[in-house]
Amino acid sequence: MADKLIIVESPAKANTIKKFLGGSTKVVASMGHIRDLPKSKLGVDLENNFEPEYINIRGKGDLIKSLKKDASQAKKVYLATDPDREGEAIAWHLAHILNIPEDSICRVTFNEITKETVQESIKKPRKIDMNLTDAQQARRVLDRIVGYKISPLLWKKVKRGLSAGRVQSVAVKLIVDREEEIEKFIPEEYWNIYATLLEEKNKKTLEAHFYGKEGKKQEIHSEEEVNKILSDIKNGKYIVNDIKKSERKRTPAPPFTTSTMQQEASRKLGFTLKKTMSVAQGLYEGVKVPEKGEVGLITYMRTDSTRISEEARNAAKKHIVGEYGENYYENRYYKTNKDAQDAHEGIRPTYVELEPEKIKDSLTTDQYKLYKLIYNRFIASQMSAAVYDTVAVNIKVNNYDFKANGQTLKFKGFMILYVESEDNKKDEKDITIPELEVGETLKEKKIEPKQSFTEPPPRYTEASLVKALEEKKIGRPSTYSPTITTILERRYIEKEQKQLKPTELGRVVNKLLIENFGDIVNVEFTAKIEEEFDEIADGKQPWKKTIQEFYTPFKVTLEKVEKELEHVKLEDEVSDVECEKCGRMMVYKYGRYGKFLACPGYPECKNAKPIIETIDVPCPVCGGVVQVRKTKRKRNYYICENNPASCNYISWNKPQVGEKWEPKEAIEVEEKKAKVPKKKTTKRKTTKSNKKSK
C-alpha cells in the first residue's frame, strides 16, 4: 500500500516526479482527460440550466479501474494535473471519478518539474479551484453549443464533415479578410532619390537620401517630380547644414510567453506551432541529463505572463556576471499585460547552470534548438541594453534637403547572446558616416532615382496569425496551436511555403457564417467572451450566467437562420468546361482534397474530374499545353498534356519561351536525387509527451 498516490497527466511527467519522491509514493498518469462531453450528441442540457452531460471517455475504462484501485490502496491522493484551467478541470473530473470530496485538500501544482519544486509543492496542497474549473467548463460548453448547432447547417448547405467554431471561425475570417485586402490592393507609385557623396579631405563616401524642400518632408509620386528635383539641384553644392550626434539604447525582449515562443520558434527555427508545443511539453515534463538525472528543463509552457521568480533572477545574475562581467548585467522587471493570467512565470530554464551546449548530447536536435532559444532569451532578458552611437546629417543642395544617418554599435550588451528575429535586420548593421563639419561642401559622385510601388499587406504566417489573435484578445495560449491545426485539417486554409491563404471552401464557409452568424465571427464579440471567461476564473461571475447571456440571442438567430436557409440552395459556381459525357457546363465542387469539377446532372451523369491548372508557355518539346501539378508534398511540377501518350516533357522548373529541353537532363537530376545517401542520424532518447486535447 502506497502512502501517497500522485496523479499527473502524462507518463513522462510521472516518471520524472517518481524519481524525485521515491519511497512508498506512487505516481501514475491519467493520460489527459478521462471525462468529457459525448461526441455523438450535444451533451448540454439546454432546458436544465446548461448542465453538462459528462461521460467517461471511450477506451479509458481499464485506466479508470486502475486509478480507482490505486486510490483505494493509498492513504492520501494528490491530483497534480497541469497548472492551468484545463488541468484544474481534469483534477475536478478525477476527484469525481475517485469519489474525492470537492473540498478535499488534494490539489497540487508544479510550475516546474524540479526536485526542489516538486518536494516543496507536495507539502502545500490546496482545494480544487472551482473558479478555474468553471472557466474551463464555460469555454467547453459554449464552444460545444456553437459547434453542434452551426455545423449541421454547413453540412446541409456546403458539405458534410465541416465544422464551425467560435475561435477557429474568427481565425479563418482574419485570413480571408487579409486575402481580400491583397486582391483589392492597388499599388501606388513612389520614388526615392539617393546621392553618393564624397568627403574630399579624407576621400570617404556616404549615401544620403532625398528628404524634402526647405526643411519640410516631401513625397515623390512620379517621374516628372523626380526630373524637376534633379533639374533644380543640377550643378548645386551639397553643403552640410546640421550634424546631430547622440546615443541610442536598445533593451532586450522579456522572457517568452506561449505566444512569443511560438512566434520566435516559427521565425528562427521554422517550427510549426504544433511542433513547438510538443517539443516544449517534453522539455517541461522531463529529460535525463548528467548530474541531475531526470528533470524538467523549462517552466510550464502555457502562460501569458513574463513574471520571473526572484530565485531565477538571482541565478541569472550570477551566470551573467560570471560569464560576461558586471557591466553586462541589469536587474529587469517586465510589466505583464493586464489581461494576462499571472498564475505562472514566463517560460525560462529551470536550472541556469544547465547551459544548452553542456546538455546537447542529452537532447534531440529539436529539443536542443528550442531549449537554446528559451535559455538565451531568458538570460538576455536580464542583461544590459545595447548602446549605439548615432549621427544624423542634414545636407542642403539649393533649397532641397538630403539626409544621411549612421550608427555604430558601441556596446553589445544583451546582443552578445540573443537578438529577437523581427529586429534582426537594420540594427545589426553598422552604418559609418565619415567625420564631417557644418558648412563643409561634399562632392556628388552619383545621383540615382529609384522607382518603387507600395505593396499589399503580407499574408499571415502561423507566427503573425498568433500575434494577431493575441493582440485582438482572441483565444488563449493553449488554444492558438489547436485552432490553427484544426482550420488546416478542415482545409479552410492552406499553406503556401509559410504563408496561410484561404481555400475556396474556407471562403464559402466564411461567407455563410458572416451573413448569418455575424456575432460568432466578430472579433470584438469573441474577445468579450474571453474577458468573461477571465471573470469566471476570478470568481466574479457564475459560469452558467455567461452561457445564458450568450445562448438567449443565439437561439433566436439560429431559429431565424434555419428558416431562412431551409429553402435556399447554395448555387454551385459554373465553370467554362463542358461535360464530355452529357454536354452540360460543369460546376465547381469541394471534396476531401479541395476543389474539383463535377457534372451538375448528378446522379444521371456522374462525371467528375480534377481542375487542371495550365500556363501560357507552350511545351518546349511538342508545343502542347503545359499543366501544373502537385506532388503529395504539394511541390509544383510541370508536365505536357500529351505526356505520356506522345510527349515526354516533365520538369520541376517552369518552362521558358524558346527553352530547349533534353529528356536526359531531367533523368539525370532524378537519378542523382535517388542516389543521395540518407544522412545517418544518431538516435537519442526522446521524451514522449501526452498532449491535452484542447
Residues 675/687, Cβ–Cβ less than 8 Å: no
DSSP state of 413: G
Please confirm whether the linkage preceding 255 is cis (ω < 30° from 0). Answer: no
Between 85-97 and 130-157, two packed helices, what is the crossing angle to 10 degrees? 100
Element (DSSP H or E) covering residue 478 = helix 477-489
Round to whole Å and give the CA distance between 113 and 119: 10
Round to whole Å and give the CA distance between 272 and 257: 16
Give phi and psi for 331, each to the nearest 5.
Answer: -70, 115
> Identity (one letter) of the amino acid at 149?
K
Q: Nine-digit cell at 554?
A: 443565439
Q: Nine-digit cell at 53?
A: 452531460
Nearest-CA neighbor of 377 among 354, 347, 350? 347
Active site residue 300: yes
Give the C-alpha distances (Å, rounded to integers) separating 298 from 75, 112, 325, 392: 31, 7, 25, 44
Neighbour-count burial for 249-271, b at 16+ CB within 10 Å, e otherwise: eeebbbbbbbbbbbbbbbbbbeb
Residues 198/434, Cβ–Cβ less than 8 Å: no
> Identity (one letter) of the amino acid at 238?
Y
- The DSSP code sequence of 286-338 is -EEETTTEEE--BB-S--------HHHHHHHHHHHHHHT-GGGB-----PPPT
Q: Nine-digit cell at 33?
A: 482527460
DSSP state of 256: B
> Identity (one letter) of the amino acid at 331?
N
For CA atoms 26, 31, 32, 37, give the dihedral sign: negative
Q: How many CB atoms lie within 10 A of CB 477?
A: 24
Between 504-516 and 130-157, two packed helices, what is the crossing angle to 10 degrees? 110
Q: What is the dihedral of CA 279, 283, 289, 291, to 10 degrees?
A: 170
Q: Which of 54, 284, 300, 590 is catalytic?
A: 300
List residues with catalytic annotation: 300
